[in-house]
Amino acid sequence: MKCCYKSLPVLWVLFQGVLAGPWSAWMPEHMSAFEGTCVVIPCRFNYPDELRPSAVHGIWYFNSPYPKNYPPVVYKSRTNIVHESFVGRSRLLGELNFRNCTLQLSRLSPELTGKYYFRGDLGGYNQYTYPQHCNLEIINKPTIVTPPEIVEGSEVELSCIVPDNCPEMKPIITWTNYEGLAEHSIYARVEEESSTWSLTSLLKFMPSRENDGREVGCKVTYTNTTFEFDGSSTLDVKFPPRIVQANASVEVLQGSQIMLVCSVDSSPTALISWLREDKVLQEDVGGNLTLYLDNITYLEDGIYTCITENIYGSDNHSLALSVLYAPWKPVVNSSVVAVEGEPVTILCSSQSNPEPMITITKDKKPMAMGVYQNQVALEFESVTHEDDGEYWCTAENQFGQSSTPFNLTIEFPPLILPDSRCTAARDTVKCICAAKSNPEAVITFELPTRNITVNETDREFVYSQKTGYIVTSILTLQREVDSQLYIVCAARNLYGAKNQQLQFHHSNSLMWAKVGPVGAVVAFAILIAVVCYVSQTRKKKNMNESSSFMQTENPPVVYSGDYRTPGNPEKSEYGRCDKRLLNKRDDLGIDYANIDFTKLSTKDSYTLTEELAEYAEIRVK
Ligand SMILES: *[C@@H]1O[C@H](CO)[C@@H](O)[C@H](O)[C@H]1NC(C)=O
Ligand SMILES: *[C@@H]1O[C@H](CO)[C@@H](O)[C@H](O)[C@H]1NC(C)=O
Ligand SMILES: *[C@@H]1O[C@H](CO)[C@@H](O)[C@H](O)[C@H]1NC(C)=O
Ligand SMILES: *[C@@H]1O[C@H](CO)[C@@H](O)[C@H](O)[C@H]1NC(C)=O
Ligand SMILES: *[C@@H]1O[C@H](CO)[C@@H](O)[C@H](O)[C@H]1NC(C)=O
Ligand SMILES: *[C@@H]1O[C@H](CO)[C@@H](O)[C@H](O)[C@H]1NC(C)=O
Ligand SMILES: *[C@@H]1O[C@H](CO)[C@@H](O)[C@H](O)[C@H]1NC(C)=O
Ligand SMILES: *[C@@H]1O[C@H](CO)[C@@H](O)[C@H](O)[C@H]1NC(C)=O
Ligand SMILES: *[C@@H]1O[C@H](CO)[C@@H](O)[C@H](O)[C@H]1NC(C)=O
Ligand SMILES: *[C@@H]1O[C@H](CO)[C@@H](O)[C@H](O)[C@H]1NC(C)=O
């Protein structure tokens, strides 16, 4: 370029005073044309009017404006001599006399790509190469223009632009591989810019993520030729992420190891996160994200969410991870000490997945049960001392079981047990009083006739021993002649007191148990004899005696050794004792060893031997 401008000052110096108008030309700066077709380069030029040339000539040069460089001559109006590359290809369409230098180039080939300069030749020294020139590009592909961003769901327009500056060959544009694009439409328009023409075909459609990466083509053809030029453009569709694969809700065993995968389709690549209940566990940018969970515990149980996001949007997927485990050791939550008569509710709870079956048992007998619940209540409207004891709460599901023992402790007032009694031996009287209570009862023996009350502090007389809730006190007395002797056992704890007159029981009563079956047979024989005897004597007695042992209402001088005899001793408590009868017998000593079989008549003849013993009576002589 510098070369041609160097020449300008020379021209200006030569014609400075002569030339008034500007030396100028106009032609498009850039033009393109398809290989094999033609192009018309519109061109105008100007020169000072004062020159009034007799003839106007012109030359088109290729790639260089300056004749000194011997640039290839494209066209020369004075002669027909042109560079070999342009032979038969160049034609001046413009009328130079009308300052029209329009040039047509035909059968274009790639080597014709370059700069084209026009030089006016007005005779003599009035020759001038205009600096304005045209850059011609020989192409073989249409230009496809895509918008800077194609986003899913918003309409786009692609244009295929083709130069249209060859009057003999009109381009035809067709789109290829556009079938299936949503809502597509095509229309063409011709555009003019700086006297050059182009044909534009527009393809409008609604892009979807499935169109990402699709190659849309544009084809240029000319009627009656085999020329065909293809171009293509790969669609880069942006779209918000979508989770294409993720795990569904799962149940896993405690201690196991799992992985949760979340695969995402997005453009551009999205940020993927795994969350458990709002807490981010892992995140990364990519197409998928795997969350590994080792040694799963119930703490990992919950809702897991995969969230993915890019600038175009987000998506999420949630799943429930259910951790299966055996029941925890059951917990008994409640006071386990109660006072008899109170209502009691004991709650036993455990935790497992699936929910446990909880059973509360006592002595292997189920007392309360709940299926598929975390908690079971053992309820008593009113506890009795029999409810006292050890219970087990067991929770179980298919993965295991766990048990917790607990004690239900009932506090209750004393009960005097049936085996409380006095036994007279040859020279001692031994009284046993057994009381069941919680807390432990204090046992006192009262001898109203002797105005004495003794308890275990009198070690000489009383010995106590405790087994569970039973306190057994043994009173040992020297046997004395005391016809009125009767003994009351009193048991007391903070919930109450119980007094009971102790029945006398002959020590020989055990004899029958000791003699065994042989003895029993002997006894039975004796019994038969006795019954016969009694039936004989009774006939006489009934005639002359007013008092009879049969009269159980007032059994005189007799302590029944059996609490089951009429005049139930359970009811004959201290104070209700028949002192009146006892007092009548001041002259009598007690012979506990004497068995009076006469009393047996009160029973029928077939009374069993064991019962004989119990009906043995103490005869007061
Ligand atoms: C120059 O010549 C061409 C070809 O004849 C013609 O199409 C064009 O209109 C002319 N330009 C002007 C400015 O007259
Ligand atoms: C194409 O060729 C056919 C016959 O060969 C002719 O009739 C028609 O005019 C031609 N079209 C063009 C645009 O040259
Ligand atoms: C989650 O899905 C992946 C891929 O499908 C699979 O390999 C994996 O085992 C699944 N995880 C669970 C816990 O099912
Ligand atoms: C997950 O992504 C990685 C790279 O990001 C890839 O190598 C792998 O194949 C993908 N896995 C799946 C299951 O898509
Ligand atoms: C699994 O977790 C439990 C409780 O946290 C632990 O006692 C045990 O050692 C762990 N096992 C492994 C293999 O990590
Ligand atoms: C998950 O997606 C739904 C709609 O698909 C949306 O309402 C919700 O807020 C999203 N949750 C999160 C945690 O992003
Ligand atoms: C036992 O649990 C219940 C409810 O779970 C609670 O109201 C009560 O206070 C608990 N009792 C004890 C003794 O902890
Ligand atoms: C329940 O009582 C028994 C006997 O008193 C005792 O051996 C056991 O340890 C107690 N159990 C609990 C859970 O307190
Ligand atoms: C028993 O003691 C009371 C007072 O302690 C007394 O009044 C009563 O006379 C006494 N009775 C006998 C039989 O000693
Ligand atoms: C036993 O009797 C003595 C005197 O009779 C009395 O002081 C003591 O408190 C009694 N003990 C109990 C445990 O009742």
431 CA to centre of ligand 3 in angstroms: 80
pLDDT tops 80 at residue 593:
no
Atom of ligand 2 nearest to the CA of 224: 1
Q: Is the CB of 258 under 6 A from ligand 3?
A: yes
Beta-bridged to residue 188, according to DSSP, are: 201
Tell me whether residue 2 is in a domain: no
> Domain tally for the chain?
6
**Domain boundary residue, one of 191, 213, 235:** 235
The per-residue pLDDT for 333 is 76
pLDDT tens digits, one per residue of 164-192? 999 999 999 999 999 999 999 999 999 99
pLDDT tops 80 at residue 580:
no
The per-residue pLDDT for 521 is 56
Enclosing domain of residue 356 = 331-411
The per-residue pLDDT for 336 is 85
Q: Are residues 135 and 169 in the same domain?
A: no
Atom of ligand 7 nearest to the CA of 375: 5
Contact 569, 501 (CB under 8 A): yes
**Domain boundary residue, one of 324, 349, 366:** 324
Instruction: List the Cα angle 165/171/175 in 5-degree steps.
Output: 135
Report the alpha-carbon distance of residue 372 to residue 358 in Å, rounded: 8
Burial class (CB in 10 A: 0-12, 13-18, 19+), 335: exposed
Q: Are residues 311 and 363 in the same domain?
A: no
**Which residue has the least CA distance to atom 2 on ligand 10?**
455
Looking at the CA of 99, name the nearest ligand.
1
Q: Are residues 206 and 243 in the same domain?
A: no
Pocket test for ligand 7, best of 334, 336, 345, 373 (most atoms within 8 A of CB): 334
Which helix (H) or strand (E) covers residue 321, if one does? strand 313-324
**Which residue has the least CA distance to atom 14 on ligand 7?**
333
Report the pocket of ligand 7 as residue ranges, CB < 6 Å: 333-335, 347
**Which residue has the least CA distance to atom 2 on ligand 2?**
224
Q: How many CA atoms lie within 13 A of 582 on its CB side?
A: 16
Report the alpha-carbon distance of residue 302 to residue 322 in Å, rounded: 7
Q: Are residues 482 and 568 in the same domain?
A: no
Q: Are residues 312 and 434 in the same domain?
A: no
Local confidence band at 530 (pLDDT 50, 70, 90 cut-offs): low
CA-to-CA dists, residue 614 to 495, 505, 562, angstroms: 34, 8, 6
Tell me whether residue 458 is in a domain: yes
pLDDT tens digits, one per residue of 230-265? 999 999 999 999 999 999 999 999 999 999 999 999
57 CA to centre of ligand 1 in angstroms: 17
Report the share of the chain in percent with pLDDT over 70. 77
The per-residue pLDDT for 484 is 72
pLDDT tens digits, one per residue of 144-166? 999 999 999 999 999 999 999 99
pLDDT tens digits, one per residue of 309-352? 999 999 999 999 999 999 999 999 777 899 999 999 999 999 99
The per-residue pLDDT for 561 is 34
Burial class (CB in 10 A: 0-12, 13-18, 19+), 297: exposed
Which helix (H) or strand (E) covers residue 141, if one does? none
**Which residue has the least CA distance to atom 8 on ligand 4?**
288
Contact 272, 288 (CB under 8 A): yes
pTM surpassing 0.75?
no
Contact 200, 188 (CB under 8 A): yes
Local confidence band at 537 (pLDDT 50, 70, 90 cut-offs): low
Q: Are residues 254 and 182 in the same domain?
A: no
**Which residue has the least CA distance to atom 14 on ligand 5?**
295
pLDDT tops 90 at residue 531:
no
The amino acid at residue 608 is L
Contact 269, 286 (CB under 8 A): yes
The per-residue pLDDT for 23 is 87
String of DSSP letters for 27-91: --SEEEEETTS-EEE--EEE--GGG--SS-EEEEEES-S-GGG-PPEEEESS-S---GGGTTTEE
Residue 293 has which token pair?
Answer: 């969970």
CATH of the domain at 213: 2.60.40.10
SS3 track for 512-565: HHHHHHHHHHHHHHHHHHHHHHHHHHHHHHHHHCCCCCCCCCCCCCCCCCCCCC
Q: Are residues 12 and 135 in the same domain?
A: yes
Q: Which residue has the higher pLDDT, 502 or 567?
A: 502
222 CA to centre of ligand 2 in angstroms: 11
Q: Is the CB of 457 under 6 A from ligand 10?
A: yes
The per-residue pLDDT for 360 is 96
Tell me whether residue 1 is in a domain: no
Q: Is the CB of 33 under 6 A from ligand 10?
A: no
Q: Are residues 314 and 220 in the same domain?
A: no
Contact 589, 618 (CB under 8 A): no
Local confidence band at 603 (pLDDT 50, 70, 90 cut-offs): very low
Looking at the CA of 170, name the nearest ligand.
2
Backbone phi, psi, residue 516, to 5°: 75, -170
Tell me whether residue 3 is in a domain: no
pLDDT tens digits, one per residue of 83-141? 999 999 999 999 999 999 999 999 999 999 999 999 999 988 899 999 999 999 999 99
Q: Are residues 354 and 380 in the same domain?
A: yes
Average pLDDT rounded to a whole number, residues 558-565: 33
Q: Are residues 490 and 529 in the same domain?
A: no
**Domain boundary residue, one of 324, 356, 378:** 324
pLDDT tops 60 at residue 611:
no
Beta-bridged to residue 206, according to DSSP, are: 182
Average pLDDT rounded to a whole number, residues 376-404: 94
Pocket test for ligand 10, best of 440, 451, 455 (most atoms within 8 A of CB): 455
- Nearest CA to 408 out of 457, 339, 459, 465 is that of 339
Q: How far is CA 607 from the centre of its chain?
A: 75
Characterize the bridge pairing of strands 182-193 and 196-206.
antiparallel
pLDDT, averaged across the chain:
82
pLDDT tops 60 at residue 17:
no
pLDDT tops 50 at residue 226:
yes
Buried-exposed string 365-374: b where 16+ CB fall within 10 A, e elsewhere:
eebbebeeeb
289 CA to centre of ligand 4 in angstroms: 8
Contact 596, 556 (CB under 8 A): no
The amino acid at residue 423 is T
The per-residue pLDDT for 456 is 84
Average pLDDT rounded to a whole number, residues 527-553: 48
Q: Are residues 341 and 445 in the same domain?
A: no
Report the pocket of ligand 1 as residue ranges, CB < 6 Å: 44, 93-94, 100, 102
Tell me whether residue 579 is in a domain: yes
The per-residue pLDDT for 436 is 95
Characterize the bridge pairing of strands 156-163 and 143-145.
antiparallel
Tell me whether residue 375 is in a domain: yes
Q: Are residues 475 and 549 in the same domain?
A: no
The residue with tokens 């049936």 is 418
> What are 592-596's contacts with CB under 8 Å, separation 24+?
592/424, 592/425, 592/504, 592/506, 592/507, 592/618, 593/424, 593/426, 593/506, 593/507, 593/508, 594/618, 594/619, 594/621, 595/506, 595/508, 595/619
Q: Is the CB of 56 under 6 A from ligand 10?
A: no
